[in-house]
A and B are shown apart, each in its own frame.
Chain A
Amino acid sequence: MRVGENTTLNTVRDSLNRSRLKMNNLQKENSTLKRVNSPADDPVGNAKLMTIRNETLDNEQFERNASLAKAFLNYSDSSLEEITNLVGRAKELALGQASSAANGEDSRAMVAQEIRNIQAEVNSIANRRLGARYIFSGYKTNTQPFDSEGNGTYTGDDGKIMVEVQKDVFIGMNVPGHDVFLGTQKNDVAARERGLAAARTGNDPGQPELAMKQDTANAGEDIFRTLESLRVGLMTNDVDMIRSTFDPLDKIRDRVITTRAQIGARMGGIDSALANMGKKNVFNAELQSGIEDADVIQVVSDMAREESVLRASLQASNKLIQPTLLEFLR
């Protein structure tokens, strides 16, 4: 076969071009340490990468949500722990004052003062805030849930603030105050307030017991009212009234403990969501790296190889281009 002048030159040019193109691509891989530098480098891998990146971004937000929810729940839990202790203390005091023989009017009045303190403390715990937000007021996080006087008038709502802590996994980060403090649903609040008003009139030495008894059936587990009726009982030296608070106090304690158990379960849920996400993140990072990261050793050795190819073709072209017949005809 004849070999034209341009055949040689084209061959040299093509092979040099090819080498340089490969070098260029390898150089790009080497400098970014990425195999996939544009979607077209690996369309299928790129589709997967886009999903993985979304998941990673989502997970970052879920983790932030989870840590916020945990802070909320932790604070609620420790507050309720204090409530448990306070209710226990109140029960202890009530038991001590329940036998008419052992204690006199004076000592009951003193204990009533202590109950007063417990009431104040319960009220301040029920109105606790995390940052700017009341933790026991449902959705109405800017509204103080219970009135400052300790009447237990609930102005929050029954909103359970759900946060997404893992894709499609929602966990309630709050405990609406009326559930745990009043033992009522929101729609019972009105009835409860009526009952409380009646109890209040119990301060009037006329008919405290009657007023109390009217409402015991449906509002006996209201912490504010129970403590108030314990205090009224102590003040009025009414042993029966004191005794009538035993059962509600136990129930309140049980309820608070049950609520804390629920909170614990939710925190467990958050932890397992975090653990799941952690695993998923590691898995995704591996997958992502497998798809887009360049194999450094491979790249470097490829570059070395390609460089020697380039050198060889440069040398070959040196030999090919130089001599023509003319040089030998001189």
Chain B
Amino acid sequence: MAATVNMFNIGKSGLMVSKQSMTTTGHNIANVNTEGYSRQDVQQTAAPVIPNARLTFGNGAWAKSVTRVSDEYLEKRIQGEHKNFANAEEKDLYLHQAEQIFNESNNDGLNRIATRFFNEFRKLSSDPANTAIRSSVREASGQLTSEIRRMDNELREVSKNIDDRLTGYVRELNAYSKEIADLNLAIDKAELGGGSAPDLHDKRDLALKKLGAMADISTSRDNNGRVTVTLAGQVAIVNGESVTELEVMRSPADPKTGKKEDHVDLYVKDGREIPQKLTQILKTGRLGALLEVRDKDLATARDQINKVAFMMAKEVNFLHEQGYGLDGFKGRNFFNQINSVENAAQNLRMTETIENHLEAIAAAKEPGSEGDNRMAIAISGVGDLKGTGGDASSSILDIYNAMVSGLAVKTQASQKELVFQKDVLSQLENVRESLVGVNLDEETANLVKLQHAYAASAKVLQVADETTQEILNNFR
């Protein structure tokens, strides 16, 4: 009799296990497109058996646990490559923007405008008393100064955009830290009774991946399996269930680091009196990329533009001041006097005298000679003057050209890097998909298999029922 009763139990356990497996399969199918989802498996074993004296029968099946398929090493690699990819992506975005500012490819940039400026002086040298030429000298210098200002303004604008983006990313980073800490707690609770929480693990892995894209992080697990996240090897931003938030503060201009305007810096309070500045130690990920572009590439570009403006004013004024205008006066500047390289691009303007009096443009070396073109010739040569570009063999325009070339090299490198990182990442993602991803065919096949198992278990119940009926009917 025991055997018949046991058959009911076995049939029931078969139905249960099949149903649980079908549920999991359904869960897998439902999550086929969920980001970061790992396929789950029901670990099914034979139910425990109470050993009997002579004949031991099985007790049916038992679903031991639901586990997710995962590879921690692979997840870490993906996290690392994701960081590199994110880094390349940000760099590419902003370097490309900066490069566009210089507009050098459609032959419309500063290079052409500055060359035109000096050529106007050359033209003036061929007919120094000509008012039409004088006014085109003035027009060309107006274009030159406004172009230099425009470039400086736009570079500044890109820096400001980066500041905004930094602020946004820090907010995101804090949100991920919070999410990870919350999940630490949730997983801890869920697994307290020896259970498993595969979906929560997936979520935490995903949050870690996204957090890892922001900056250089390292992770470790404590005894309870809770994740600790350390930023740049220094600051523990997630520790079990507690979070240390990063903060964004505006810093004033700092001539030591070469930053012209107020800019955003990243800090962490970390229980200290004085917040610790993180700007210099973040080198990788999205934050690292943004800081590098802002503090290195854009800062250099602006420095060079300022240098160009400063040298332009200095060298042109030096000559112009010695020359005589058509009115026979000397000692006048062409551009406003600029005393320091800092902000030179913004300060480069024609003097009011030149702006309002064409005859004040000095083409002559001696007074009273309308045809004297020596100063115009001298000024027309300033653009090619060696030794004005920082070393003995380079000219003012070389400063600019070298800067544009440098930026172009970096932009090209970042484009290549982006393509490369994208390939690396998608290869790794494919490996991950092949390991933990959901395959609908496989799940469908499983479903069919489980359906059969379910039907067979139902059959077991039917047989058990019929045999029991048989006995019951005989004794009626």
Chain A residues packing against B (C-beta within 8 Å): 1-7, 10-11, 14, 34, 36-44, 46-47, 50-51, 53-54, 57-58, 60-62, 64-65, 68-69, 132-133, 137-143, 157, 159, 161-164, 167, 170, 173-174, 324-326, 329
- The answer, yes or no, to whether B370 is at the interface (CB within 8 Å) is yes
Mask: chain B, 416-437; 1 = CB below 8 Å from A; 0 = not: 0000000000100110011111
Inter-chain contacts of A68 with B (CB < 8 A): 126-127
B112 lies within 8 A of A57 (CB): yes
Jot down 10 A-B pairs with beta carbons below 8 A, ordered by A.
A6-B437, A38-B96, A38-B99, A54-B111, A137-B371, A139-B369, A157-B369, A164-B125, A164-B380, A324-B441
Q: Distance (Å) between the CB of B133 and the closest chain A CB?
A: 11
**Are A4 and B438 CB-contacts (below 8 A) given A46-B105, A53-B112?**
yes
A325 lies within 8 A of B445 (CB): yes
Mask: chain B, 93-132; 1 = CB below 8 Å from A; 0 = not: 0011001101011010001100110010011011101000
A10 lies within 8 A of B433 (CB): yes
**Are A133 and B127 CB-contacts (below 8 A) given A4-B438, A7-B437?**
yes
Q: Please, how many angstroms separate the alpha-carbon atoms of A24 and B99 in the complex? A: 20
Q: Distance (Å) between the CB of A102 and the closest chain B CB?
A: 48
CB < 8 Å neighbour of A141 from B111, B129, B397:
B129
Q: Distance (Å) between the CB of A220 and the closest chain B CB?
A: 29
Closest to B411 in A: A40
Q: Please, how many angstroms separate the alpha-carbon atoms of A141 and B373 in the complex? A: 11
B371 lies within 8 A of A50 (CB): no
Closest to B326 in A: A142
A54 lies within 8 A of B115 (CB): yes
- The answer, yes or no, to whether B351 is at the interface (CB within 8 Å) is no
Closest to A44 in B: B405
A139 lies within 8 A of B125 (CB): no
A6 lies within 8 A of B433 (CB): yes
A46 lies within 8 A of B408 (CB): yes
Mask: chain B, 428-454; 1 = CB below 8 Å from A; 0 = not: 011001111111111011001000000
CB < 8 Å neighbour of B408 from A39, A51, A133, A142:
A39
**Are A47 and B412 CB-contacts (below 8 A) given A36-B105, A39-B99?**
no
- The answer, yes or no, to whether B63 is at the interface (CB within 8 Å) is no
Q: Please, how many angstroms separate the alpha-carbon atoms of A50 and B400 in the complex? A: 11
The 3 closest A-B pairs by CB, nearest first: A4-B437, A141-B371, A139-B369
Q: Please, how many angstroms separate the alpha-carbon atoms of A68 and B125 in the complex? A: 11
Q: Please, how many angstroms separate the alpha-carbon atoms of A42 and B412 in the complex? A: 8
CB < 8 Å neighbour of B440 from A54, A65, A324:
A324
CB < 8 Å neighbour of A69 from B126, B415, B429, B436:
B126
- The answer, yes or no, to whether B200 is at the interface (CB within 8 Å) is no
CB < 8 Å neighbour of B122 from A46, A164, A173:
A164
- The answer, yes or no, to whether B32 is at the interface (CB within 8 Å) is yes
11 new A-B contacts, CB < 8 A, other than A3-B439, A40-B99, are: A4-B437, A5-B437, A7-B430, A36-B105, A39-B105, A51-B401, A53-B111, A57-B116, A64-B126, A69-B126, A164-B380
| Total contacting residues, chain B, CB less than 8 A | 59
Inter-chain contacts of A325 with B (CB < 8 A): 440-441, 444-445
- The answer, yes or no, to whether B356 is at the interface (CB within 8 Å) is no
Q: Distance (Å) between the CB of B332 and the closest chain A CB?
A: 20
**Are A11 and B369 CB-contacts (below 8 A) given A39-B407, A324-B440, A329-B444?**
no
Inter-chain contacts of B404 with A (CB < 8 A): 39, 46-47, 50
Q: Please, how many angstroms separate the alpha-carbon atoms of A40 and B437 in the complex? A: 38
Q: Distance (Å) between the CB of A92 and the closest chain B CB?
A: 36
- The answer, yes or no, to whether B377 is at the interface (CB within 8 Å) is yes
Inter-chain contacts of B96 with A (CB < 8 A): 38, 40
Inter-chain contacts of A62 with B (CB < 8 A): 122
**Are A141 and B430 CB-contacts (below 8 A) given A2-B435, A2-B442, A5-B32?**
no
Q: Please, how many angstroms separate the alpha-carbon atoms of A58 and B104 in the complex? A: 17
B115 lies within 8 A of A326 (CB): no
**Are A163 and B438 CB-contacts (below 8 A) given A39-B99, A39-B104?**
no
- The answer, yes or no, to whether B266 is at the interface (CB within 8 Å) is no
CB < 8 Å neighbour of B105 from A5, A37, A139:
A37
From B111, B126, B384, B436, name the one whose CB has the most chain A CB atoms within 10 angstroms: B126
Inter-chain contacts of A39 with B (CB < 8 A): 99, 102, 104-105, 404-405, 407-408, 411
Inter-chain contacts of B126 with A (CB < 8 A): 64-65, 68-69, 163, 173
Q: Distance (Å) between the CB of B387 and the closest chain A CB?
A: 16
Inter-chain contacts of A329 with B (CB < 8 A): 444, 448
Inter-chain contacts of B102 with A (CB < 8 A): 39
B426 lies within 8 A of A14 (CB): yes
Inter-chain contacts of A164 with B (CB < 8 A): 122, 125, 377, 380
B370 lies within 8 A of A65 (CB): no
A54 lies within 8 A of B412 (CB): no
Q: Distance (Å) between the CB of A72 and the closest chain B CB?
A: 9
Q: Distance (Å) between the CB of A129 and the closest chain B CB?
A: 12
Q: Please, how many angstroms separate the alpha-carbon atoms of A203 and B410 in the complex? A: 85
**Are A1 and B434 CB-contacts (below 8 A) given A40-B415, A57-B115, A139-B370?**
yes
Mask: chain B, 454-474; 1 = CB below 8 Å from A; 0 = not: 000000000000000000000
Closest to B415 in A: A40
Inter-chain contacts of A4 with B (CB < 8 A): 433-434, 436-439
B125 lies within 8 A of A140 (CB): no
Q: Please, how many angstroms separate the alpha-carbon atoms of A325 and B435 in the complex? A: 20
- The answer, yes or no, to whether B364 is at the interface (CB within 8 Å) is yes
Inter-chain contacts of B434 with A (CB < 8 A): 1-4, 7
Q: Please, how many angstroms separate the alpha-carbon atoms of A3 and B435 in the complex? A: 8
Inter-chain contacts of A60 with B (CB < 8 A): 119
Inter-chain contacts of B188 with A (CB < 8 A): none
Q: Distance (Å) between the CB of A215 and the closest chain B CB?
A: 29
CB < 8 Å neighbour of B373 from A11, A43, A163:
A163
- The answer, yes or no, to whether B409 is at the interface (CB within 8 Å) is yes
Q: Distance (Å) between the CB of A137 and the closest chain B CB?
A: 7
Q: Distance (Å) between the CB of A114 and the closest chain B CB?
A: 35
Q: Please, how many angstroms separate the alpha-carbon atoms of A43 and B438 in the complex? A: 45
Closest to A17 in B: B422
Inter-chain contacts of A51 with B (CB < 8 A): 401
Q: Please, how many angstroms separate the alpha-carbon atoms of A36 and B111 in the complex? A: 17
B371 lies within 8 A of A161 (CB): yes
A38 lies within 8 A of B105 (CB): yes
Q: Distance (Å) between the CB of A183 and the closest chain B CB?
A: 22
Inter-chain contacts of A162 with B (CB < 8 A): 125, 373-374, 377
Inter-chain contacts of A6 with B (CB < 8 A): 32-33, 433, 437-438
Closest to B445 in A: A325
B372 lies within 8 A of A159 (CB): yes
CB < 8 Å neighbour of A54 from B127, B397, B441, B442:
B397
- The answer, yes or no, to whether B331 is at the interface (CB within 8 Å) is no
- The answer, yes or no, to whether B233 is at the interface (CB within 8 Å) is no
A139 lies within 8 A of B412 (CB): no
Closest to A164 in B: B122
- The answer, yes or no, to whether B225 is at the interface (CB within 8 Å) is no
- The answer, yes or no, to whether B368 is at the interface (CB within 8 Å) is yes
Q: Please, how many angstroms separate the alpha-carbon atoms of A51 and B104 in the complex? A: 11
Q: Please, how many angstroms separate the alpha-carbon atoms of A36 and B405 in the complex? A: 13
Inter-chain contacts of B107 with A (CB < 8 A): 53
B373 lies within 8 A of A40 (CB): no
A163 lies within 8 A of B371 (CB): no
Closest to A51 in B: B401
